[in-house]
Structure 1
Amino acid sequence: RSEEALPMLGKILAKRHGFRCTVLFAIDPETGEIDPLNVTNIAGLELLDSADLMIIFTRFRNLPDEQMACIDRYVKSGKPIIGLRTATHAFNIPADRAFARYSFNSKEWDGGFGRQILGETWISHHGAHNKESTRGVIAPGMENHPIVRGCEDIWGPTDVYTVRLPLPGDSQPLVLGQVLTGMSPHDPPLSGPKNDPMMPVAWTKTYQGENGKVGRVFTTTMGAAVDLKSEGLRRLLVNAAYWCMGMEDKIPPRADVETVGPYEPSYFGFGAFRKGLRPKDYAME
């Protein structure tokens, strides 16, 4: 439910921290309504040309070339990127298309955008989907990293994703995903190999743009709308926005991540989105 998670996050970044945020949605071009099942249209991507940070939370998109070109220009610029949950498999583009290398299963650009830029592509569910929730544990030695500042309590009902270890390049795991036995934050950790070792669920890395500029990246395989009821996870993302833009000196001891207005997110699931809504329905008043 990225169409609910990202407006909430954008409002926090704008209202509580002074950033100017624009949220783009998958739109049904005939009705103008938000339609997460429409994988071929995200209106407004040309706004990336003037953006300082891209936060991406898509899944298996097959966007037209003119829209992918906007994303490609941004990536080539070497500007910072935050990827949430299914952004590891953000695109599923046929091999005969101009931007096929971005596809999650690309062989030309091994693992596509997910692997090359964010650090991993889609592999599998590590925790049992909708049965084993995730407790975020700060990785050993990372307790003083500015992104995890004030993030003592991270939990979400989504499962841990499998990633290949070690993560590529200069990837630095910040938070590990402890698989729990059930769907409550009070459930104990699962015993056995799923937690030995624990999979990273949040990490940093860098990538190099076409002009040689090095861009900072933060990726988390958590981030579903219901995950973001966790104050610790919201703070992790806000801190990451500061860090990605080289503003880590401005991260306070406990960043204000109170939601702007009520936040009652829908549960994750295919086709479970709220019907009949338009972007204006998520606008900040």
Structure 2
Amino acid sequence: MMKNRVKDSFLLITIMLILSARLATAQHRDLWSVYKGNEGPGKGKHIVFVSGDEEYRSEEALTLMAKILAEYHGFKCTVLFSIDPKTSKVDPNNQTNIPGLDQLQTADLMVLLIRFRELPDAQMKFIDEYTKAGKPVVALRTSTHAFNYTRNKQSPFAKYSFDSTVKGWEGGYGRQTLGETWIAHHGVHGKEGTRGLINGTMENHAILRGVKDIWAATDVYTIRNLTGDSKVLVYGQSTHGMTPKSPLSYEKSVMPVAWIKNYTNEKGNTARIFNTTMGASVDLLSKDLRRLLVNACYWAIGMDQQIPKESNVDIIGEYNPTMFGFGNFKKGLSPADFEIKK
């Protein structure tokens, strides 16, 4: 009798622990979004999108790109967000918390649009491990200055800071891994846009397949000099005004706005890197910019030969991006609220 009671109690406790663990996992997964992916060339591949910037609405931009890559191209896409740990709501101003970075352990590609993050070591280690594994990166806009260590300068990851002076890591993650760090605004921020100019010497590159007409509302960034074997795919000409019909600003020189490079880390692992200084949520109203990014994801993973002649990048459902600016993000929303429905 006593043995049966003990056995029953043990079984009950076991069931409760399993249910509790499952509930905790389900609640934890509510902190990010997952698009399982339809049939397509990307089936079986996993892309992790890491959003987190105060100004350019990465939470909207990367959600759109994830849905397109899952719906039309078959990739499983996971979107991570900066989260307020007290409310579990998306808060781009929170620079110290992006739950779910452990998803990078199964990722074939990391897509970044982050700015001045200083993540705890327990989270940052997954980006570090991913980078050391020699896996590819597609980076947008402020990712050139992805990290800024001001709170814990003793962190082993402080060398990733955009202003790092650590030997071998000058300019931090942006300069060493992606090709450049934050320098300045070349165009007039909030008054001038970017007209994309295809580099004629690279026009046959797979990433540029079907890409002809790029215009972005964000301004051109200053690029001092790109590192390593960087090759420019698209230059940016500033425009007088912030509409696609705005005239070109011939008074200003062109700057690289999209390039590729190889990054070889200290372990000798080499990764394909694509970087663009465009990519705000409003920039993605440009169909050919969306196509450039989709093609870049294919290329980064090593699927050059599978890039369509004209990648399907049609917007799914409604997409009404928020204009860039500090404090303009949609407040009080959970990751599920950003999921784009058909």
- The residue type equivalent to 2:331 in the other structure is K
Post-superposition CA distance 1:114-137 (Å, at most 9, x none): 000010000000000011110001
Q: CA separation in 2, counterparts of 1:54 and 1:88?
A: 15
Q: CA separation in 1, counterparts of 2:133 and 2:299?
A: 18
Post-superposition CA distance 1:150-205 (Å, at most 9, x none): 1111001100000113x11100000000111111111111122x22xx10000000
Correspondences of 1:225-244 after superposition (within 5 Å): 225-244=281-300
Residue of structure 2 equivalent to 1:130: 190
SS at 2:89 equivalent: coil
Residue of structure 2 equivalent to 1:18: 74
Q: CA separation in 2, counterparts of 1:185 and 1:282?
A: 27
More strand by share: 2
SS at 1:141 equivalent: helix
- The residue type equivalent to 2:161 in the other structure is S
1:68 aligns with 2:127: no
Q: CA separation in 2, counterparts of 1:201 and 1:52?
A: 24
Correspondences of 1:16-55 after superposition (within 5 Å): 16-55=72-111
SS at 1:23 equivalent: strand
How far did residue 220 of structure 1 move?
0.1
Residue of structure 1 equivalent to 2:13: none
Residue of structure 2 equivalent to 1:266: 322
Please, which of 204, 212, 237 is the counterpart of residue 178 of structure 1? 237
TM superposition score normalised by structure 2 = 0.81
Unmatched runs of 5 consecutive residues or more in structure 1: none
User: Identity percentage over the alignment?
Assistant: 58
SS at 1:249 equivalent: helix
- The residue type equivalent to 2:163 in the other structure is N
SS at 2:235 equivalent: strand
Q: CA separation in 2, counterparts of 1:16 and 1:152?
A: 21
Correspondences of 1:85-164 after superposition (within 5 Å): 85-94=141-150, 95-108=153-166, 109-164=169-224
Q: CA separation in 2, counterparts of 1:54 and 1:218?
A: 11
Residue of structure 2 equivalent to 1:5: 61
Contact preservation (8 Å) 1:104, 1:113? yes
Residue of structure 1 equivalent to 2:53: none
Return the structure number with greater relative CO, CA threshold 8 A, min gap 6: 1
Contact preservation (8 Å) 1:78, 1:210? no
Q: CA separation in 2, counterparts of 1:12 and 1:255?
A: 10
Q: CA separation in 1, counterparts of 2:199 and 2:256?
A: 8
Contact preservation (8 Å) 1:77, 1:210? no
Contact preservation (8 Å) 2:318, 2:340? no
How far did residue 253 of structure 1 move?
1.1
Q: CA separation in 1, counterparts of 2:108 and 2:267?
A: 16
The Cα RMSD (Å) is 1.0
Q: CA separation in 1, counterparts of 2:246 and 2:66?
A: 31
Q: CA separation in 2, counterparts of 1:257 and 1:110?
A: 37
SS at 2:79 equivalent: coil
SS at 2:288 equivalent: helix
How far did residue 210 of structure 1 move?
4.5
SS at 1:57 equivalent: strand
Contact preservation (8 Å) 2:145, 2:162? yes
How far did residue 89 of structure 1 move?
0.3
Contact preservation (8 Å) 2:264, 2:271? yes
Q: Which has the larger radius of gyration?
A: 2
Please, which of 320, 324, 333 is the counterpart of residue 277 of structure 1? 333
Q: CA separation in 2, counterparts of 1:284 and 1:20?
A: 15
- The residue type equivalent to 1:190 in the other structure is S
Contact preservation (8 Å) 2:64, 2:340? no
